[in-house]
Amino acid sequence: MKKSMGISASVWLLATIAGSALRAQAVDPAGMFPEIDGWRKKGESESYSPENLYQYIDGAAENFLSYGCQRLLVQNYGNDRGQVLSAEIYFHGSLENAFGMYSSEKPATGDYFSLGSQGYAEAGILNFFCSAYYVKLSAFGLAAEEQPILRELGRAMAAAIDPGATLPEMLQAFPGAGKIANSERFILNHFLGHDFLHAAYTADYLINGQNFQLFIIDAGSEAAAHFMLEKYVALDRVNPGQKIQPGMLTVNDPYNGPIRFVWQGRFICGSNGRTPVAEEIIAALARNLPSQ
């Protein structure tokens, strides 16, 4: 049974924002669903928690929860012609998690634009993330000239959530040459299929006709990075017992093939490509990493 949002949802939103290191402002949930000319809100907004999220997105809830979804707010709008807009706001607790969820669903190619932190549109759909929030807008049956209503609603919602929202700072470390536009992603857990590798930023590249992926793992500390590498090196049966030391290393991953990477303080960055150009760009990536 769907639950209507009341005072408890307002308290939740204010508390979670106030207790986090986010740039999002403490706002009334009602203000996150603005009024739109020619449209009216259909009833009160609905609120879902991790415990009942499946009631709204059965089959997809697990993916949202894997990126730390803490709350979903939903508001529907209608007009005099019987058309319906749906606005969904997923709170993920951090910019990184919201970007991770957004990036897990975004298309390889699409109509991308600046909205909140970043957004894209398809027929009847506009999705964007803004600070710790992932917002999904949908309205099917709109004529081509009616599609702008989604951007109008999206701009108003982004302004209410955080008018100064940006992309994750770590994405700036990926070199621009050869990077496929809008290919950046954030993998929260089990990067490359290993439970000891986590929280990896990735970007896809195409250089000299060769595709490869770059990645950045922020382990949090040099000791934690060393622990990850110990686990990873132990999988290498081609070159067993290799010494783990700062700089360039190669692990012959039995599931993913040779992985070339650089260990630099708390960071591990690398590529699944073994071409000379991939090795050069890994070095450039390491130079772009934040200072320790």
200-238 pLDDT tens trace: 999 999 998 888 999 999 999 999 999 999 999 999 999
Rounded CA gap, 198 and 106, in Å?
20
Ranges assigned E (strand) in the chain: 40-41, 46-48, 71-78, 84-91, 111-113, 118-122, 125-130, 133-138, 185-187, 200-207, 210-218, 247-253, 257-264, 267-271
Cα-based angle 203, 205, 211 (whole degrees, multiple of 5)? 125
Judgement on whether residues 121 and 266 belong to the same structural domain of the protein:
no
Confidence at 173, pLDDT banded by 50, 70, 90 = very high
How much is the pLDDT for 284? 94
Judgement on whether residues 156 and 188 belong to the same structural domain of the protein:
no
Rounded CA gap, 138 and 128, in Å?
12
How much is the pLDDT for 30? 63
Who wins on pLDDT, 28 or 188?
188
Judgement on whether residues 89 and 177 belong to the same structural domain of the protein:
no
The answer to whether the CB of 33 falls within 8 A of the CB of 75 is: yes
3-state secondary structure 149-201: HHHHHHHHHHHHHCCCCCCCHHHHHCCCCCECCCCCEEECCCHHHCCCCCCEE
Rounded CA gap, 272 and 282, in Å?
10
How much is the pLDDT for 280? 87
Q: Please give the DSSP secondary-structure letter assigned to residue 4.
A: B
Tell me the average pLDDT across 46-59: 94
Judgement on whether residues 18 and 151 belong to the same structural domain of the protein:
yes
Does the pLDDT of residue 256 top 70, yes or no?
A: yes
Question: Is 2 among the domain residues?
Answer: no
Judgement on whether residues 250 and 148 belong to the same structural domain of the protein:
no
Does the pLDDT of residue 109 top 70, yes or no?
A: yes
Judgement on whether residues 131 and 57 belong to the same structural domain of the protein:
yes
CATH number at residue 71: 3.40.1000
Tell me the average pLDDT across 109-129: 95
Judgement on whether residues 153 and 13 belong to the same structural domain of the protein:
yes
Q: What is the domain extent for residue 47?
A: 7-161
Does the pLDDT of residue 22 top 70, yes or no?
A: no
Q: What is the mean pLDDT of the chain?
A: 88
Rounded CA gap, 244 and 232, in Å?
10
Judgement on whether residues 156 and 217 belong to the same structural domain of the protein:
no
- Amino acid occupying residue 42: K
How much is the pLDDT for 29? 61
pLDDT digits (tens, 9 = 90+) for 120-157: 999 899 999 999 999 999 998 888 888 899 999 999 99
How much is the pLDDT for 292? 62
pLDDT over 90, % of the chain: 77
Judgement on whether residues 92 and 31 belong to the same structural domain of the protein:
yes
Does the pLDDT of residue 110 top 50, yes or no?
A: yes
CATH number at residue 260: 3.40.1000.20
Strands 247-253 and 210-218: unpaired
Judgement on whether residues 32 and 151 belong to the same structural domain of the protein:
yes
Judgement on whether residues 276 and 221 belong to the same structural domain of the protein:
yes
CA distances from 157 to 91, 162, 230 (A): 14, 9, 45
Judgement on whether residues 140 and 205 belong to the same structural domain of the protein:
no
Specify the DSSP element, H or E, that contains 226.
Answer: helix 222-233
